[in-house]
């Protein structure tokens, strides 16, 4: 007899499942699919990082690693935070784990009690709400649509705070919108947060380096909230290392200790070999990061140009990450090639079936009426995708 816990039953099934099944079906029938639904850089991991991993194997970094990570890696992260972000986290305050995803979940499970509220600006990355559910907390969603560049205002933040608020989860540059909060915009949020010392601020800065504004302000750099700010980051996006599974949290010592305790009972230290590769990423030349950033910026310009020409789409100019999040609500309620488009899921499915372009429905990010397109793919694929989208929407 199947017996699945209520905890797992309460989790949402991956929103992209139906889309990927359909996509696989069409591919099996011979269709030339273009995948704009992917959340990872399309570059190979830089050579010097791969070499470090090979060396690690030869040098027998094949045993269990310390639960919070090897000290040289934690020192390298502490140094990176100091020099790149101007923030102070001692190596003891850093816990390395199997990806930023695990770090986020570690922190949520370590400080959220049943009923505690977590403020999440939406659209937001798919997993935040599910992680809060795992901790039996309550997500308080604060909507910020395209007309406010997908960024919440200080007034919205203040209105969302209650006695039960325990955490604010902020992602900048953002998945799924690419929006980047400026220093002044963050300061305005900090001015609200400083009145509520019980709120932990968790800043997901995983897209830090894929930023086209020319400057990045870390949430931990504001002295008013620095002692209760947790940074989440990792090597996945900046160094094209999604499969290596290394991320970290940098947290107040009490919280770092708590996540260390949780991780010690759950997964132990992250892969020893991948940690040595991550150390090489942080301590080696940063030119590879800049090269990839420039490629993404060029593609951002291309996709914004092409998407702005699609009739009925409302598009902004994302300042970071590698996503575009157009408002496609114009098409909702319309009939395309005999198919009634009831919602953004139907629209994404329509593009999949008629343009052979895979995207993700905005509802997956708690913002119906939109779709997410990833431009972590070649210029040629982006151009071809938009030719087909234009054709599919023309009749
Ligand atoms: C906003 C955001 N945070 C965290 C992650 C997870 O990153 P990692 O691969 O390090 O687990 C992702 C990955 O897609 C992401 O988009």
pLDDT tens per residue, range 302-316 = 999 999 999 999 999
The best mutation among 38, 41, 100, 169 to test binding of ligand 1, ranked by most ligand atoms within 8 Å of the C-beta, falls on 100
Domains and CATH numbers, the chain: 6-44+288-394 (3.90.1150.10), 47-283 (3.40.640.10)
**Cα separation values, 8 from 3, 135, 141, Å:** 10, 11, 21
Measured CA to CA, the distance from residue 133 to residue 117 in angstroms comes to 11
Ligand 1 centre to CA of 30 (Å) is 32
Ligand 1 centre to CA of 387 (Å) is 30
Ligand 1: nearest atom to the Cα of 101: 11
Ligand 1 centre to CA of 272 (Å) is 20
The best mutation among 206, 230, 277, 364 to test binding of ligand 1, ranked by most ligand atoms within 8 Å of the C-beta, falls on 206
Choice among 18-27, 286-295, 331-340, 356-365 with the minimum mean pLDDT: 18-27
Measured CA to CA, the distance from residue 297 to residue 248 in angstroms comes to 26
Contact 198, 166 (CB under 8 A): yes
pLDDT band at residue 110, thresholds of 50, 70 and 90?
A: very high
| Mean pLDDT within 22-37 | 90
For ligand 1, whether the C-beta of 173 sits within 6 Å is no
For ligand 1, whether the C-beta of 234 sits within 6 Å is yes
Stated as kind and residue range, the H or E segment containing 204 is strand 200-204
Ligand 1 centre to CA of 196 (Å) is 28
Is the pLDDT at 243 greater than 80? The verdict is yes
For ligand 1, whether the C-beta of 171 sits within 6 Å is yes
Which residue's CA lies nearest to atom 14 of ligand 1?
A: 39
pLDDT tens per residue, range 329-372 = 999 999 999 999 999 999 999 999 999 999 999 999 999 999 99
Is the pLDDT at 16 greater than 70? The verdict is no
For ligand 1, whether the C-beta of 225 sits within 6 Å is no
* pLDDT the model gives residue 298: 97
Could you tell me the end-to-end alpha-carbon distance of the chain, in angstroms, rounded to an integer? 51
The best mutation among 232, 237, 267 to test binding of ligand 1, ranked by most ligand atoms within 8 Å of the C-beta, falls on 237
Measured CA to CA, the distance from residue 75 to residue 77 in angstroms comes to 5
pLDDT tens per residue, range 225-238 = 999 999 999 999 99
pLDDT band at residue 15, thresholds of 50, 70 and 90?
A: low
Ligand 1 centre to CA of 206 (Å) is 6
Helices (H), the chain: 6-9, 17-28, 47-58, 71-85, 100-111, 127-134, 154-160, 183-193, 253-266, 272-283, 287-308, 344-355, 379-394
Q: What is the DSSP letter of 327?
A: B
pLDDT tens per residue, range 323-332 = 999 999 999 9
| Mean pLDDT within 212-230 | 97
């Amino acid at each position: 007899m199947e017996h699945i816990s209520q905890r797992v039953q309460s989790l949402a099934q991956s929103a992209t499942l139906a889309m990927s099944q359909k996509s696989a079906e069409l591919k099996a029938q011979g269709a030339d699919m273009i995948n704009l639904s992917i959340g990872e850089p399309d570059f190979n991991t830089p050579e010097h990082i791969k070499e470090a991993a090979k060396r690690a194997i030869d040098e027998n970094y094949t045993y269990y690693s310390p639960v919070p990570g090897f000290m040289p890696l934690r020192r390298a992260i502490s140094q990176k935070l100091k020099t790149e972000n101007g923030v102070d986290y001692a190596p003891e305050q850093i816990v390395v784990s199997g990806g930023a995803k695990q770090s986020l979940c570690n922190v949520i499970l370590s400080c959220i009690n049943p009923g505690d509220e977590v403020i999440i600006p939406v659209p937001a990355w798919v997993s935040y709400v599910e992680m809060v559910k795992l901790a039996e907390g309550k997500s308080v969603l604060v909507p910020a649509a395209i007309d406010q560049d997908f960024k919440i205002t200080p007034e919205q933040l203040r209105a969302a705070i209650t006695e039960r608020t325990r955490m604010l989860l902020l992602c900048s540059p953002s998945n799924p919108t690419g929006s980047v909060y400026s220093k002044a915009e963050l300061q305005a949020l900090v001015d609200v947060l400083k009145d509520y010392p019980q709120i932990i601020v968790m800043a997901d800065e995983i897209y830090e380096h894929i930023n086209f504004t020319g400057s990045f302000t870390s949430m931990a750099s504001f002295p008013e909230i620095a002692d209760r700010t947790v940074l989440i980051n990792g090597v996945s996006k900046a160094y094209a290392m999604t499969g290596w599974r290394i991320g970290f949290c940098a947290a107040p010592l009490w919280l770092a200790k708590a996540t260390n305790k949780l991780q010690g009972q759950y997964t132990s230290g992250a892969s020893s070999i991948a940690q040595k590769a991550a150390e090489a990423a942080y301590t080696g030349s940063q030119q590879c990061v800049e090269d990839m950033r420039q490629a993404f910026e060029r593609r951002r310009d291309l996709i914004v140009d092409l998407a702005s020409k699609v009739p009925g789409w409302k598009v902004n100019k994302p300042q970071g990450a590698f996503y575009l999040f157009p408002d496609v609500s114009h098409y909702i309620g319309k009939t395309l090639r005999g198919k009634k488009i009831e919602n953004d899921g139907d629209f994404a499915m329509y593009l999949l079936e008629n343009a052979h372009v895979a995207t993700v429905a905005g509802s997956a990010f708690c913002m119906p009426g939109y779709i997410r397109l990833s431009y972590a793919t070649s210029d040629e694929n982006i151009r071809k995708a938009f030719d087909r989208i234009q054709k599919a929407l023309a009749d």
